[in-house]
Amino acid sequence: MSSLNSNIDLKLCTRCILPESIPGIKFDESGVCSYCHREESAVAKAPEKREEYRDKLDQLIGQVKGKAPLYDAIMAYSGGKDSTYTLKVLRARYDMRLVAFTFDNHFLSPAAMENIKKITDRLNVDHVLFRPSWPVLKEVFSRTAQEDIFPVPTLLRASAICTACIGFVKGLVLKAALEMDIPLVAFGWSPGQAPIQSAIMKTNPALIRQNQQVFKKSFPQEIGKKIESLFIPDRYFDEYADRFPHNVHPLAFFDYDERLIVKDLEELGWQHPKDTDTNSTNCLLNAFANRMHLNRHRFHPYVLEIASMVRQGVMGREEGIEKIYAEQDPKMVEYAKKRLEL
């Protein structure tokens, strides 16, 4: 086992792995946290819900498959294990016409890029790679590395760097779906990243427009002007109002076991990258983003996600602790820092 960093000195929930540094967290006399208590009934109802959502997805796909001009679904594809597995499920179980969309943030691991090419070919999926220019992204990441520019609730679940990237991905993939008239947008969120209640959802133009405005306004003005092309143009919300797709993230309701997933993917030719940190299988910026978040907040940006998976029984507690509290390779933090000239 690798050495644990200073975070482990914090008191952890005895059931999940949340630390006492999470804002507002409380512990009962046996050391179980308020998040665990709050989610007890949801966890108990999960098996039933999962079945309900699998039926729902079958129905939705039955309704849309084969009707759109080009593709049945567009997948936000990072090349990591979760989105690769989701892509596989959509092809193998539903035989959909798919296009995969990758946002290259200039820190995409070369091993992940190899995986992307191999997997999209093996699964017979078209692929689009979108790579914004480096000076602009460098400015975005330098700023978000040093400052939490987004609303506080988002920072419970992701570092500011990750929040920026995810915001761009969501906007760009929706923009592509609108332009190509694609009825489904698929994401590879793990069962800990997003609740099952949001796993199948029709996108709402007014709501998305509003969210996009909030996200855009979080950036300082001088950056905001340079990232205009990464957002959905205002006129799309009216012009394409009847094209707004459903968002789906099937891993919330399909069986999730990290070891089995990796084994399954390796049979397809996917290889576990050796150049990423324990919480990512595609991004070389993640270790640095996590470090900066830890320095500012004293809790790991992935801890809510991993704690939720421990609670749901899809990951062991020890494994969760190792993922979150193991010391990361300082070389990876340095690598990103150097490229961002910080």
Q: What residues line the site for Zn ion (CB under 5 A)?
A: 13, 15-16, 18, 33, 36
CB of 315 to Zn ion, least distance (A): 13
CA distances from 325 to 7, 18, 88, 319 (A): 7, 11, 31, 10
CB of 302 to Zn ion, least distance (A): 15
Q: How far apart are CA 290 and CA 288, in angstroms?
A: 5
Residue 221: CB atoms within 10 Å? 7
Residue with tokens 């208590």: 37
Length of the chain: 342
User: Do the bridges between strand 126-130 and strand 98-103 make them parallel or antiparallel, or are there none, so unpaired?
Assistant: parallel
Nearer of residues 15 and 175 to Zn ion, judged by Cβ: 15
Nearer of residues 42 and 136 to Zn ion, judged by Cβ: 42
Nearer of residues 13 and 112 to Zn ion, judged by Cβ: 13
How far is the first Cα of the chain from the last one, in angstroms, to the nearest whole number? 31
CB of 222 to Zn ion, least distance (A): 42
Nearer of residues 36 and 116 to Zn ion, judged by Cβ: 36
Q: How far apart are CA 248 and CA 201, in angstroms?
A: 7
Q: How far apart are CA 18 and CA 319, in angstroms?
A: 13
CB of 10 to Zn ion, least distance (A): 13
CB of 33 to Zn ion, least distance (A): 3
Q: How far apart are CA 176 and CA 182, in angstroms?
A: 8
- Tally DSSP H helices, then E strands, for the chain: 14, 6
CB of 321 to Zn ion, least distance (A): 12
Contact assessment for residue 3 and residue 20, using Cβ atoms and an 8 Å cutoff? no
Nearer of residues 13 and 287 to Zn ion, judged by Cβ: 13
Nearer of residues 116 and 306 to Zn ion, judged by Cβ: 306
